[in-house]
Structure formats: structure tokens, C-alpha cells
């Protein structure tokens, strides 16, 4: 690449106090050393540390040793050109957030498009105006600093919520167990007011515990938790889940009708995620079904999919419900029929977990005629 023509030496604008950025580490990549010297002189006067590289391979080695805050990258270089360097940077999770500004003597629109598609955030044509270079470098450094601060705030928030929620679960579990014991003891005292108070404590502590657990599950699903898919027997899973909720259903005079195959239906799924999915779907069916109705649970296989279905005879979903049923904290038209709590997180969690396991989730419902949820997971031999 030809050397940059220095277009005079105008006074380099000082960053205003409101937009001032800390001195940064800038990697300047150009096959002409004189270009690196000119850019280095301009940015060095602002306190930035300049790391030089005269080819793409050297640039990648420098980034591996010390990731810079910003990269000024020549587009046209012998061997590995700027586009290829940028693509390799963006392919790495450790480096993809480093902003790349392309510098090139070519003012071809196609080249500019290629540079931006490769991952560049800006494109400056040589010979450049020093004030323009400083302004664009400052803008990208400010944006990166803002992203870094936001990322740190998110991490701090997640850590704080995790600690609070974890401790809160411990407190709520203890409270709920004590309330259950108290409720059993008050029955012997034949004091209606005391019995009502104990039941209120038991119910509200149980609702709080459910909400915190759902909140944590949703947070993990939001932040790309690591699934560990293994071969699981979907039939056995469905049988165990149905047995777990059978007594809860009977308390509301609801019958759970099952249709499980005699042969094994294996699915590729994460054990904990699948447990959460089946629990949510079956508990929701019980929660929103009136007394005296039925819930139908089945397992089957279809082509390369293992299929789990829960159908209820509840109120179903309206067209408006269907547009927001998988949103977090989505409030739907149906209400629990036995005073149970609804956090608005259950279906959101189910959908994220099913998709995370490479599966599909469908809901078929007509208002007043119940709802059918179908989970399809990858099937294994």
C-alpha cells in the first residue's frame, strides 16, 4: 500500500470533558511502516499506546499476546488482506468485540461494503484528515467503553441477583417447612383464626418460593446455560412426572389419563431441562383446569422425533393470548382455578428449554375447548 500523504498538521482537537476517554491501546496494521508512524504520531499525542504490525499474521499474534482496545487495519496488504484479518478476529469469542476501523487508499464502494461485512465498524480513506481520524477513533473508543461498562453492569446484576435469589430460596424453604408444620399443629387446637393464619403463611411462602425458582430458571435460560444432552427414556420420564402430580390433580377432582407405549421412546435431552419442561406443562394443565375435568398425557415417536403431549379441558387460549403466551411475565386471559399462583414465567422457560435441546414446542387451542401442548425432541435409538 502506498504511504499516506500527510495533509498538514492541524491542531488535534482535545476531547471534551463530557466525552473524554481514557488512553487506549491501539493496534495499527499497515504494510507501510511510514503509515504506522504517521498514525502513531497523531494518536500518540493523545496518550494512546500504539502497537505496530506490518502484516496480517503479525497482527493476529499481537492480538493474541495483548488484545487492544481498537484496531486500525489497512485493507490492501500482501498475503493476508485486511478483510481476512478482520474475519479471523470476529470468529474468535475473545476478540470479536474489539472494534476495527479500516484504513485504505481505495475509495471503492464495493471494498467499503466488503470491509463492513467482514466486521469493520468504520472505513477511513487515505490520505486522511487528522481531525477526522481522531474524531472517529474517539467515537469508537467511547462506544467500546460504554459496551464494556454495560457488560460489567449486567454481570454485576446477574451475580447479585443470583446471590440474593439463592439465599432467598434457603429462607423461603425454611419458612415453608415451618409453615407446613405449624399448619398441621393448629388443626389440633380447633382455632379457626389460627388455622387460617397458618394456611396463609404456608400459601404465600409457597408462592414466593415458586416465583424465585421460576425467576432463576428463566435467568439461566436467558443467559445461554450449558445443556448436557444425553439419551433419556421419555416414557419413564413421563410416567414419573405423572405420578408426581397425580395426588395434586386428585385434590382438584381432576383425572390424569395416560397413553404410554410399551416400547422405549428415547430422546436426546438435558435431564434437568426435560424435567423442568414436563413439570411446567403438567402443573399448568392442573392449575388452569376446573374440577371434574380430565388431562391427557401421551408419549409417542414420529420419524426422528420423540413426542410428548399434554392436553387439558380448561379454558384454552384466545388469539391475543397466543401472541404473548411465551413472553416473560405474560399475563393471559385464563386464571388458576384453585387459587394457585401464576408467575407468568412457566411457558417462557419451557419454550427456551425445548429450543435449547434442539426440539420444537407447539400449542393448539380454541377458546373454551382446552389446550394441547406438543413437545418434539430429537429421537435416539
- CA–CA gap between residue 245 and residue 312 (Å, rounded): 14
Q: Which fold has domain 22-128?
A: Rossmann fold (3.40.50)
pLDDT recorded at residue 19 = 43
Q: What is the pTM of this model?
A: 0.50
Mention every residue, 6+ apart, whose C-beta is less than 8 A from residue 153. none
pLDDT recorded at residue 330 = 60
pLDDT recorded at residue 222 = 59
| Domain made up of 229-380: CATH architecture | 2-Layer Sandwich (3.30)
Regarding beta strands 294-302 and 100-104, do their DSSP bridges make them parallel or antiparallel, or are they unpaired?
unpaired
In the beta sheet, which residues pair with residue 256?
A: 295
pLDDT recorded at residue 204 = 75
- CA–CA gap between residue 230 and residue 97 (Å, rounded): 33
Handedness of CA 203, 207, 208, 212 (dihedral sign): positive
Cβ pair 307, 300 in contact under 8 A: yes
Continuous H helices in the chain? 33-44, 56-65, 82-91, 109-117, 130-186, 192-222, 234-251, 271-287, 319-324, 346-356
- CA–CA gap between residue 229 and residue 264 (Å, rounded): 18
Q: In what order do the strands lie in the sheet with 100-104?
A: 49-53, 25-29, 70-74, 100-104, 122-125
- CA–CA gap between residue 375 and residue 377 (Å, rounded): 7
Distance in angstroms between the alpha carbons of the first and the last residue of the chain: 59
Write out the chain's pLDDT in tens, 381 residues.
Answer: 445 544 443 344 444 333 456 789 999 999 999 999 999 999 999 899 999 999 999 999 999 999 999 999 998 888 899 999 999 999 988 898 999 999 888 777 888 888 889 999 999 888 888 898 999 999 999 999 898 888 888 777 777 766 666 677 777 777 778 878 877 777 777 777 787 787 778 777 776 777 776 666 666 665 555 678 899 999 998 999 899 888 888 889 999 999 999 888 999 998 888 988 898 899 889 988 888 999 999 999 988 999 999 999 988 888 887 777 777 656 666 666 755 655 555 688 888 889 889 999 999 988 888 899 999 999 987
- CA–CA gap between residue 342 and residue 211 (Å, rounded): 8
Q: Where are the domains of the chain?
A: 22-128, 154-222, 229-380
Amino acid at each position: 500500500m502506498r504511504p499516506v500523504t500527510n495533509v498538514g498538521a492541524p491542531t488535534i482537537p482535545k476531547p471534551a470533558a463530557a466525552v473524554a476517554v481514557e488512553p487506549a491501546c491501539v493496534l495499527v496494521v499497515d504494510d507501510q511502516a511510514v503509515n504506522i508512524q504517521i498514525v502513531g504520531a497523531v494518536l500518540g499525542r493523545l496518550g494512546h499506546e500504539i502497537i505496530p504490525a506490518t502484516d496480517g499474521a503479525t497482527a493476529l499474534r499481537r492480538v493474541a499476546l495483548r488484545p487492544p482496545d481498537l484496531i486500525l487495519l489497512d485493507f490492501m496488504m500482501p498475503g493476508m488482506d485486511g478483510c481476512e484479518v478482520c474475519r479471523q478476529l470476529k470468529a474468535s469469542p475473545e476478540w470479536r468485540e474489539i472494534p476495527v476501523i479500516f484504513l485504505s487508499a481505495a475509495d471503492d464502494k464495493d471494498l467499503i461494503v466488503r470491509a463492513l461485512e467482514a466486521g469493520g465498524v468504520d472505513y477511513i480513506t487515505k490520505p486522511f484528515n487528522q481531525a477526522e481520524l481522531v474524531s472517529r477513533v474517539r467515537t469508537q473508543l467511547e462506544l467500546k467503553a460504554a459496551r464494556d461498562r454495560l457488560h460489567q453492569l449486567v454481570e454485576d446484576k446477574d451475580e447479585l441477583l443470583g446471590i440474593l435469589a439463592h439465599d432467598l430460596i434457603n429462607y423461603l424453604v425454611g419458612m415453608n417447612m415451618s409453615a407446613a408444620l405449624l399448619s398441621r399443629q393448629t388443626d389440633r387446637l380447633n382455632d379457626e383464626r389460627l388455622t387460617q393464619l397458618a394456611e396463609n403463611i404456608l400459601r404465600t411462602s409457597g408462592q414466593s418460593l415458586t416465583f424465585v425458582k421460576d425467576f432463576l430458571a428463566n435467568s439461566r435460560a436467558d443467559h445461554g446455560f450449558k445443556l448436557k444432552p444425553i439419551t433419556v427414556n421419555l416414557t419413564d420420564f413421563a410416567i414419573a412426572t405423572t405420578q408426581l402430580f397425580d395426588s395434586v390433580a386428585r385434590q382438584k377432582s381432576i383425572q390424569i389419563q395416560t397413553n404410554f407405549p410399551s416400547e422405549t421412546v428415547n430422546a436426546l435431552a438435558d435431564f434437568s431441562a426435560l424435567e423442568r419442561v414436563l413439570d411446567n406443562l403438567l402443573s399448568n394443565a392442573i392449575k388452569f383446569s376446573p374440577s371434574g375435568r380430565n388431562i391427557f398425557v401421551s408419549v409417542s415417536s414420529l420419524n426422528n422425533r420423540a413426542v410428548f403431549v399434554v392436553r387439558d379441558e380448561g379454558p384454552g387460549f384466545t388469539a391475543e393470548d397466543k401472541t404473548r403466551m411465551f413472553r416473560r411475565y405474560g399475563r393471559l386471559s385464563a386464571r388458576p382455578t384453585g387459587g394457585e399462583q401464576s408467575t407468568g414465567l412457566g411457558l417462557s422457560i419451557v419454550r427456551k428449554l425445548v429450543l435449547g435441546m434442539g426440539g420444537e414446542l407447539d400449542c393448539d387451542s380454541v377458546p373454551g375447548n382446552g389446550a394441547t401442548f406438543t413437545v418434539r425432541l430429537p429421537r435416539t435409538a
